[in-house]
Structure 1
Amino acid sequence: MPLHVSRRATLLGTGAALAAPFIRTAQAQQTMEFVAGSLGGGWYTIAAGIAALVRDENPDIQLRVVPGGGVANSTRVNNNQSQMGFGIDAFTAAAVKGEDPYSAKHERLRSLGTGYSPTEHNFLRAADKPGDDMRQILTQRGLRLAAPQRSSTDETTLQRIMRFVGTSPDRIRSEGGRYLNGSYADIAAAYADGQVDYLYCALAKPAAILTEIGQGRRSSRLVGFPDDVRKHLIDAFAYNEGVLPAATYPQLQSADLRVTTMDSVIMVHDSVPEDVAYKVTRTLIRNKGARLTQIHASMASYDPASSWRYAGCPLHPGAAKAYREAGAMPAA
C-alpha cells in the first residue's frame, strides 16, 4: 500500500477515534424543560437555582427553565410539553384525579416529592384604603384589585374565595371597579403606581415583591384570612393553613396573621428516564439544608423523610430509588 494512502487511513482512523467520545457524550446528555412560575416569582428563582445545582453535579443533565403557572403546569407536564415542572400539592392531586379545575385525569404525571417551597397566600391593601376584613374588601363597590395571571394557582384561589363571599371579577368591573391580571412584576408595579389599591398573590416568604413594596413609598398592610374562608378552602379544595409571623414583613404587618397555605411539588412526565429522575432527586437530597436555603429561604423546609410521602401523585421510580438510598424511605 502506498505510504500516502496508509498515512491517510491512519489519520482518518485516529480522527474517528477522537470524535467517537464526543458523539457518545452528546447522545448521553439529557435536556429537559423545567416549567416554573412567573418571572419575578419565587418558583422561577428556585427552578433556576435547582437547574444550576443539578448541572454542577450532573453535567449530563441540562434543565431549561421557562415561565409557567401552577394550574397550567400540571397539564403541560402531563402532555410532555415540559418534562418537569413545579405544581401545588392540592392542584396536582386534582389533576391526577381529573377534578376541578381539570376536565380529565392526568395519568402521565409522576412526582419527585413535595415540601420544596411552602407558600403563603397574601392579601395586601393600601394603608389609606378601607378594610381589615377580606369579605368586606372583596365585596365593596369600586374595588381596584390586581392578581397574577389566569393560569396561576394564586388567581384560581382568589376566584374561589370570591365565589365563596358572593362576588366575581365581572361584578367588580360592573360596579365600576378594576380587576387586573399580570405577571408578579406587572401587578406589583400597578400597585406601587396606584393603578390598583389591593393585591393578591401566593408566594413563599420572603417574597421579593412584598419586601420591595414594604420598602416603597406607598404605605401598605397585609390582611389576614378569615376563619370561614380558610376552612372553606381546606374542606372544599384541600388547601392548608398557617401563620405568617409578624417579623416576616415588618413594614406590612404588626402581628402574626392567619393565612391560607399550600406546598410545592416537583412533577415529571412518566417518560423521564429512571436514572435522570434519580440523579435530580439525589442532588436535592444531598443539598438539603444550607445549600438549598441559599437558593431560596423557603427551601429550608425541605425534608426528604417526609417529601416522598406525598400521596397526591405517584412517586417516580427514580425518585423512590434516591429516597431509599438516602435512608429516607423504607426499602421496597
Structure 2
Amino acid sequence: MSHRLFSRLSQLALLGAILAAPLPAAAQTKNLEWASGSPGGAWFTQTTGVSTLVMEAIPDTSIRVVPGGGKDNPTRIQAGLSQIGMGIDFLSAAAFKGEEPYKQKHDKLRTLGSTGVDVYYMVYVPVEEKRSLAEILADPKLTIGVTAPATSEHLTLQRALEFYGNSFAKIREAGGKVVISSYGELIQGFNDNQFNVLWTAGEIPSGLASQIVDGRRKVKFASFPEELQKNLSEKYGYSRGVIKAGTFPELQSADVSVSSMGNIYLVSSDLPEDFVYGMTKAIMSNRSRLANIYQAMGRYDPALAAKVQPVPLHPGAEKAFREAGFVK
C-alpha cells in the first residue's frame, strides 16, 4: 500500500471516528425543536414566548417552535424529532408507560414539571340548543368542529363519542359533519353556521373564548355529564374542573362542570443536564414575565411545578429546583 493511500485511509478513518463520536453538550443544544400545539392556539403563543426567554438565558442556542399537539408531542420527543414539547399530564403518563393510545413505552420523556396552566374542555353550542351534551354526542347527525388528530381535543372527542355509542364514521355515514381544522378556521366556520358544536379546550382566561364571544353567533358552554366525566377520569386519568359562574358571563349563567387537564413542560432525556438546568432556571427567574406572554401562565409557581411529575423530572430540572429549595 502506498504511503499516500495509507495516509488518505487514515484521514477517512479519523473523520469517521469524529462523526461517530457523541456530540459535546454545546453542540447538542445548538439547534433545538420545540413541539407546541395547533397554529393560532395558546400553546403556540406560550412556546414562542418561553423559548425566547430560554434563548436569552443560554447564549448560542436556537429553538424552533413547530406545530404539534398534546397527543403527538410525546412521540415526537421519543423519536428524536423534537427535543422539547408541551405536554398534558395524563397523556404524558400514558406515553411513558406505553398505555393507550400509545403502543410502546416512551422512556425518553422527562419533565420540568407544571407550566402552571390548567386547561378546561370548553364545548360551545348555540344558545337555542336545549339538549344535554349526552344527547348531542349520541346524535349520528351531529355537526361538530375539532382540532387536528395530534391534539388532545381530537382524542377526547373520539373518546366521548365512543362512550355514547357514536363515532366520526357513524356521523359521516348518517349525513352529519366532522370539521377538522385550525382554531382560526374553526371559529370562522362556527360563526358561519357550518357546524353546530365547537369542541375545544382552553385556559382561564381564554383568548379563544373571547374570540367566540366577539363573533356573530350567540352561544353558550355545554356542561359535561357526570357519567362522562367519571369515565374519562377513571379510565384515562382526566381531572375534573369547574368553570365558575361569572368567569365568562356571555357564555354561562352558572357553574359549568367539565373534564380538565394540566399542562407540563416535556424534554428529552437526551438533553444535557446543564442545558435543562439553565432552561429551568430561565423559566423560574422570569416568573414576572410569564403573564405578559400568556396571562394564564402568571400562575406558574416553581414550588408546585416541581411536584407535578407524571413522568420523571429531568436531572437538570431537579438540580435547579433543589438549588432553589423546591426539591429536597
User: Normalization by structure 1: what TM-score?
Assistant: 0.87
Cα 1:141–1:316 shift into 2, 3 Å: closer
Q: Give structure 1 regions of 4+ aligned residues with deviation exceeding 4 angstroms.
A: 26-29
What is the aligned partner in structure 1 of residue 22 from structure 2?
none
1:95-151 CA-to-partner distances (Å, cap 9, x unmatched) read 0000000000001111111243211111101223442x1111112242110011111
SS in 2 for 1:90: helix
Cα 1:28–1:180 shift into 2, 3 Å: closer
Cα distance in 1 for partners of 2:205, 2:65 equals 22
1:62-102 CA-to-partner distances (Å, cap 9, x unmatched) read 22111111111100011110010011000000000000000
Cα distance in 1 for partners of 2:140, 2:326 equals 53
Cα distance in 1 for partners of 2:283, 2:73 equals 21
Shift of 1:232: 1.0
SS in 1 for 2:139: coil
Structure label with greater radius of gyration: 1
1:162-208 CA-to-partner distances (Å, cap 9, x unmatched) read 11111111111122110111111121111111111110011222332
What is the aligned partner in structure 2 of residue 208 from structure 1?
207
What is the aligned partner in structure 2 of residue 310 from structure 1?
308
Correspondence 1:217-256 to 2 at 5 A: 217-256=216-255
Cα distance in 1 for partners of 2:167, 2:29 equals 48
What is the aligned partner in structure 2 of residue 166 from structure 1?
165
Cα distance in 2 for partners of 1:27, 1:92 equals 27
* 2:140 and 2:166 in contact (8 A); partners too: no
Report how many residues are paired.
304
Cα distance in 2 for partners of 1:152, 1:130 equals 29
What is the aligned partner in structure 2 of residue 79 from structure 1?
79
Cα distance in 2 for partners of 1:90, 1:232 equals 14
Letter matched to residue 104 of structure 1? Q
What is the aligned partner in structure 2 of residue 272 from structure 1?
271
Letter matched to residue 101 of structure 2? P
User: Normalization by structure 2: what TM-score?
Assistant: 0.88
SS in 1 for 2:195: coil
Cα distance in 1 for partners of 2:29, 2:313 equals 24
Cα distance in 2 for partners of 1:246, 1:215 equals 19
What is the aligned partner in structure 1 of residue 146 from structure 2?
147
Aligned-pair identity (%): 37
Letter matched to residue 314 of structure 2? H
Cα distance in 2 for partners of 1:100, 1:328 equals 33
Cα distance in 1 for partners of 2:44, 2:277 equals 22
Letter matched to residue 178 of structure 1? K
Cα distance in 2 for partners of 1:295, 1:202 equals 19
Cα 1:29–1:176 shift into 2, 3 Å: closer
What is the aligned partner in structure 1 of residue 260 from structure 2?
261
Pairwise CA RMSD: 1.7
Shift of 1:249: 2.2
The farther-off stretch of 268-277 and 59-68 is 59-68
Cα distance in 2 for partners of 1:37, 1:165 equals 28
Cα distance in 2 for partners of 1:186, 1:69 equals 17
Shift of 1:229: 1.0
Letter matched to residue 244 of structure 1? I
SS in 2 for 1:82: coil
SS in 2 for 1:55: helix
